[in-house]
Amino acid sequence: MLYKLGLIGHPISHSLSPWIHQQFLDLAEVDGEYKLYEGDHEALPEVLKHLKEIGIDGFNVTVPYKQVIVDYLDEIDKDAEILRAVNTVVNIDGKWKGYSTDGEGYVRSLKEPYPNLLNHETTVLLLGAGGAARGIYRALMGQGVDTIDIANRSHDKAKDLLSLRLGDVNSNVLSYQEAEQQLAKYDLIVQTTSVGMKPNVEGQVIQLDQINKDAVVSDIVYQPITTQLLHDASERGANIHHGHAMLLYQGQLAFEKWTGKNLDVAHLVDKLENKLRG
Ligand code: ATR
């Protein structure tokens, strides 16, 4: 069978997804194609009609359509519904079902190098409260983590995340300054804002002076590969986790939903890093 896969979004011409999914197709030794279906808001209904007509097996959804895509689905996974965002659509016997693989992809990428990190004793600090933070919050909770504090520039947005009642966890909303002062108590610090991303690579949302050296600092930004925050964490002797690994594993999860193949992709993390370094 030839898998017809792809991505919708705008703009997407620089997306790494075609490269990533070609790696997966090769690894799985199946025939398939992963194409970019770009279109602005006005073009979206036509783009989706085309995907229906060709009988696409599955596609990813990126900015700015992660929410509007819901209107075109036949079914939505419970997590994606709670998170109000869909990044993966699967064609099941002609019906489109939407999922969110961001949070789970993040957790898989983290467990690969740190298999014993996540449990009910793990104390997590989440930096940021946007769409990415929501998915990660929910997925960490699914791993039994029961303390996830949220630090964000806007207090209200962090409160909004809590008001979604994503689960039964202990969460305090903190300012970045408060988070810095109590940093020593966290085992995992997850940076989900766009601060530090190219071209403004100089920023970091918190200073790490009080960091616990056994902690893992994770940054979902992958351009640059090593953000200033991760560089700082390394210099202080803490453990780090790079954002490009999340990108790879959320793709792996989507690929699994489309093809039923659960691939071992750990060796592709370095290959993706080399690709990103150009
Ligand atoms: P995403 O879906 O990528 O998470 P988002 O929903 O727009 O994007 O969320 C962006 C996050 O980055 C928010 O936590 C935002 O903080 P505010 O809620 O205070 O706006 C954070 N963010 C973006 N730019 C920032 C900056 N310059 N300084 C601090 N936080 C920033």
**Residue 108 domain-assigned (yes or no):** no
pLDDT of residue 168: 83
- The answer on 237 and 118 residing in a single domain is yes
User: What local confidence, expressed as pLDDT, does residue 46 receive?
Assistant: 97
Domain harbouring 208, CATH code: 3.40.50.720
Residue 82 forms part of a structural domain:
yes
- Shared-domain flag, residues 252 and 204: no
- CA-to-CA separations, 78 to 57, 81, 98, 104, 256, in angstroms, rounded: 21, 5, 9, 13, 18
What is the CATH number for 35? 3.40.50.10860
Q: What stretches in the chain show pLDDT beneath 50?
A: none
- If residue 219 lies in a helix (H) or strand (E), which one and from where to where? strand 216-219
Query: What confidence tens digit (pLDDT) does each residue in 78-110 have?
Result: 999 999 899 999 999 999 999 999 999 999 999
DSSP result, 134-187 = HHHHHHHHHTT--EEEEE-SSHHHHHHHHHT--SS-B--EE-HHHHHHTGGG-S
pLDDT at position 68 is 97
Q: Is 220 annotated as a binding residue?
A: yes
Residue 107 forms part of a structural domain: no
What per-residue confidence (pLDDT) applies to 278?
87
pTM: 0.95
Q: Are residues 168 and 257 in the same domain?
A: no
pLDDT of res. 121: 96
Q: How many domains does the chain have?
A: 2
Query: What are residue 126's phi and psi, to 5 degrees?
Result: -100, 125
Residue 233 belongs to a domain:
yes
Tell which atom from ligand 1 comes closest to the C-alpha of 154: 19
Q: Which domain holds residue 157?
A: 114-241
Q: Are residues 160 and 266 in the same domain?
A: no
Integer Cα distance of 98 and 147 in angstroms: 29
Instruction: Quote the CA–CA distance of 59 and 261 in Å, as a whole number.
Output: 16
Write down the pLDDT at residue 163: 87
Query: Is 151 labelled as part of a ligand binding site?
Result: no
Ligand 1: lining residues by beta carbon, under 6 Å: 128-133, 152-154, 157, 192-195, 205
The predicted complex's ipTM stands at: 0.97
Query: How far apart are alpha carbons 114 and 107 in whole angstroms?
Result: 10
- Considering the domain architecture, whether residues 230 and 263 belong to the same structural domain is answered as no
